[in-house]
Structure 1
Amino acid sequence: MDLRARLRRTAMNLPAVLVVTLPGATELRLETEAEVRRRGWPVAGAPAASDLLVVCGVPAPQDAEWLDSIERSMPQPAVRTVVGDRGHVAHALDQARRELTDGAVIVTPDSAAPGHGDVHDRDAQHGGPTSEDHHAAHFGRDGHGHQQPPDHTAHMEQADHQGHAGHMDHMGHDMHAMGEVAGLPMAERADDRDELRLDQLHVPIGPALPDWPAGLILRLALQGDVVQSVEVDHLPLPPGPRLPFWDEPWLLAAQGEDVSKGIAARRRCAAHLDSAGRLFAVVGWEDVAARCRRLRDELLSGASRQAIGDELRRTLHRVRRSRALRWSTAGLGRWPADRGRAAGVTGPALAAGGDAYDRLRMWLGEIERCLGDLDDAEPLPSDDRTGPRGRLDGPSPPSLALLDVLPELLTGAEFACARIIVASLDPDIDELVLAPVSGAARA
């Protein structure tokens, strides 16, 4: 083994991890993120920057194509592992690292021939790397899928989003009859709002972007950098009875099980920290995003109010004082509360009204209020049916209404702002199991 191979093998001891979460696998995602952080492994924001692909949830047969495409776009050696059950994350990561270190060789022109390992055999069977792999490799302008921190720039640049969208060109979703040249989608012509004939590009986003609602797919029609229309879709929901992770305390209490107010407050607080962390990551505030996720995991692990309260309050104070954050999110996705109420929206999104920044402020306020109830041992009333995203006893789950308002909020917005608007709502596809008919109609 030469020096380069030794260095590569050593590097594989700290592999860069790309996590893809399927609907119904929120708890597995949280366990995976906590374990990856505990090991000190870097988190990749793009296939081209990753060594290990971790799929949280058991893929359906129709998921094989786009998951294979992601893996093909990763630099070799690369390993994909599937985590399907709680408690198996550590074992799966250990096994994946062994496979990476055992396969850590330097790829040379001679060694890249068919028969020189599983990776090259697979590429040979598929006819070599395709233009789809090229799309996946250009996941983001910096290889992480995020912009600079808000102190440097407020919004993600259009090129960043084009990189994200390109990654999804090949993931098994149609491109609305667009022409292609060398496998690349070409623009069509359509009237814009000023009745001018401009290029129109159909761009699917999701389902495997970092800091993106698990399983969500948006198909956008763009003219220039403006969203003209939006179609909302999602990956199929997993079969079998399964309660949405973030709504469990309230649903279990409604079924007559003993659930304390402290458990419900802990779950609500963690849910909002998870959503806020996603929004901070999208706007590029990575250090605060990481802190929110660590605090989220400590809450879910049972940390007391005394152990976590001071740091949590300092984090909230820092966020509220950030003028750059406010500037980067204010005015995006603005809609009045009466329109949200008419659409069936409940919970923080309705109470906030306003824009993306107002919705973030509402999460922060609920986090602070929940902090005082973390150790409350009183039973949660069975008629308390308001989860982190809204009322669970309405005609449809809260996230279904959030999905329904996305086209209205995104149409007319700049492409660079679309992910911020989505993150400020953070719909939970897992909740659609509470409305089987509506959920099936979308799948």
Structure 2
Amino acid sequence: MGLNVVLRSAVMRGLAGGPRVLLVACPGGTAVRLAAEAAVGERGGRLALTPAEADVLLVAGEPAAELRSAVDVLWGQMPGPRRLGQAARARDVGAVLEALLPGRGDGGRAARSAPWAPSGGDGETARLGEPVMAGRGEDRDGLRLDVLRVPLGPVLPDWPAGLVVDTVVQGDVVQRAGGRVLPFAGPRRPPFWHAGKSPDARRRRTAAAHLDSLGRLLAVAGWEAAAREARRLRDRLLDGEPERGVRADVGAWRRRVERSRTLRWATDGLGVLTPADAAGLGVSGPAARARAPHDATARWRRWLEEADGLLAGGPVRDGGPRGSATVEAVPPSRGLLAAAVERMPGRELSAARLLLASLDPDPDELAAGRAPGGTRGVGVR
């Protein structure tokens, strides 16, 4: 990292007025991640988009070995002063974050707030997401371009927890992609978004899940203000606020989102998933119900429509917000991940990220029912 980048990030952190928290969510740690996002906002902070602009690194959940290694790399990329902490449970987030805020801890790394000591970074490990040279290949125009292996995840901002999409890129265009989910480290629990025994609780939880997915997509698209509002509305539902009041604000926010020409320009025609394709991949839920032309725009519109319908008292249509498991008990998110990686070749990396966000597979679903420490992957050539 150059001196100018360090100085610029330090100035921006000072101007921000609150902590800039780089949040790493672990598989199975959805409840902790939601609590952390809310706690950062309550303390006047912002979620950082890069290590260079962060002063706090907060791990939400319990990371297994590979995810710990990724956290070590992030730590090595952060300029000082920097602090590291981990909250294994949602109820621990407030206390851990308070201990990490500038002026309230010990002024050092705060590594004692995590059960492991970071192995440094600082020149000891490759930079996270750094492309690895894999050879040279012919471009469509006859030019010989570098062929690079570029992993997306597992610790990108606004990225599904613990998901890794391994890509082969020529120029800035994806040639091949394959997805996998890192293993759980903590106790195995049902997916967070499937909770809720009563119809009212399931309806509220499902609407909140759609708002969570919308917040991630809007953030990846670069519309951070709309993403923050989606998360605030989500949190109000999860906090038990009456649905009628939340629905009124969802309606006003929805109209603003649907009128955005910039958002539609970014998502129109992206990742078309026809009903026949969805059926073949085992995709159900909102992604399968999206109307023609069945692209990313149709999918985020479907999330908006179904969230509003649920808040109006409509029924929950599936076993979870992403659909129902197949007769072979395959989670719907497995089909969503397969649909995403199949449609990445030929796309630039930024479009590939937006494509994945428009399908938003849930790693908690992908890992549920799997033997501890196991991984599953899907990919195409």
Scaled to the shorter chain, the TM-score interval is 0.7 to 0.9
Moved over 6 A (4+): 7-13
Aligned counterpart for 1:309 among listed residues 247, 253, 261: 247
Q: Residues 190 and 320 from structure 1, CA distance in 2 versus in 1: closer, same or farther, beyond 3 angstroms?
A: same
DSSP 3-state at the match of 1:315:
helix
Tell me the TM-score normalised to structure 1 length: 0.74
Question: Equivalents in 1 of 2:297, 2:67: separation in Å?
Answer: 35
Aligned counterpart for 1:434 among listed residues 357, 368, 376: 368
Question: Equivalents in 1 of 2:125, 2:140: separation in Å?
Answer: 32
The equivalent residue for 1:421 is 355
Aligned counterpart for 2:312 among listed residues 369, 372, 381: 372
> Contact between 1:410 and 1:421, CA under 8 Å: does it hold in 2?
yes
> Contact between 2:191 and 2:364, CA under 8 Å: does it hold in 1?
yes
The equivalences for 1:192-271 within 5 A come to 192=139, 197-238=144-185, 240-249=187-196, 259-271=197-209
The equivalences for 1:79-98 within 5 A come to 79-97=83-101
Question: Equivalents in 1 of 2:242, 2:187: separation in Å?
Answer: 34
Count, aligned residues: 359
Letter of the 1:320 counterpart: E
Shift of 1:62: 3.7
Larger Rg: 1
The equivalent residue for 2:122 is 129
The equivalent residue for 2:215 is 277
Aligned counterpart for 2:129 among listed residues 168, 188, 195: 168
Letter of the 2:319 counterpart: T
Structure 2 gap segments, 5+ residues each: 1-10
Shift of 1:262: 1.3
> Contact between 2:48 and 2:54, CA under 8 Å: does it hold in 1?
yes
The equivalences for 1:316-355 within 5 A come to 316-352=254-290, 354-355=294-295
> Contact between 2:13 and 2:53, CA under 8 Å: does it hold in 1?
no
Q: Residues 438 and 91 from structure 1, CA distance in 2 versus in 1: closer, same or farther, beyond 3 angstroms?
A: closer
Shift of 1:321: 1.4
Question: Equivalents in 2 of 1:340, 1:298: separation in Å?
Answer: 32
Letter of the 2:122 counterpart: P
Question: Equivalents in 2 of 1:71, 1:370: separation in Å?
Answer: 41
> Contact between 2:21 and 2:55, CA under 8 Å: does it hold in 1?
yes
The equivalences for 1:390-401 within 5 A come to 390-392=323-325, 394-395=327-328, 396-401=330-335
Question: Equivalents in 1 of 2:148, 2:195: separation in Å?
Answer: 41
> Contact between 2:83 and 2:108, CA under 8 Å: does it hold in 1?
no
DSSP 3-state at the match of 2:195:
helix
DSSP 3-state at the match of 1:387:
coil
Q: Residues 437 and 8 from structure 1, CA distance in 2 versus in 1: closer, same or farther, beyond 3 angstroms?
A: closer
The equivalent residue for 2:322 is 389
Structure 1 gap segments, 5+ residues each: 1-6, 106-116, 136-166, 170-183, 250-258
Identity rate, percent:
40
The equivalent residue for 1:153 is none
Moved more, 71-80 or 195-204: 195-204
Let me know the Cα RMSD of the aligned residues. Answer: 3.1
DSSP 3-state at the match of 1:273:
helix
Q: Residues 366 and 224 from structure 1, CA distance in 2 versus in 1: closer, same or farther, beyond 3 angstroms?
A: same
Question: Equivalents in 2 of 1:8, 1:310: separation in Å?
Answer: 35
Shift of 1:323: 1.7
Question: Equivalents in 1 of 2:368, 2:64: separation in Å?
Answer: 20
Question: Equivalents in 1 of 2:138, 2:369: separation in Å?
Answer: 37
> Contact between 1:225 and 1:415, CA under 8 Å: does it hold in 2?
yes
Letter of the 1:388 counterpart: P
Shift of 1:199: 2.4
Deviation digits for residues 192-230 of structure 1, max 9, x if unmatched? 567764321111110001111111101111112221100
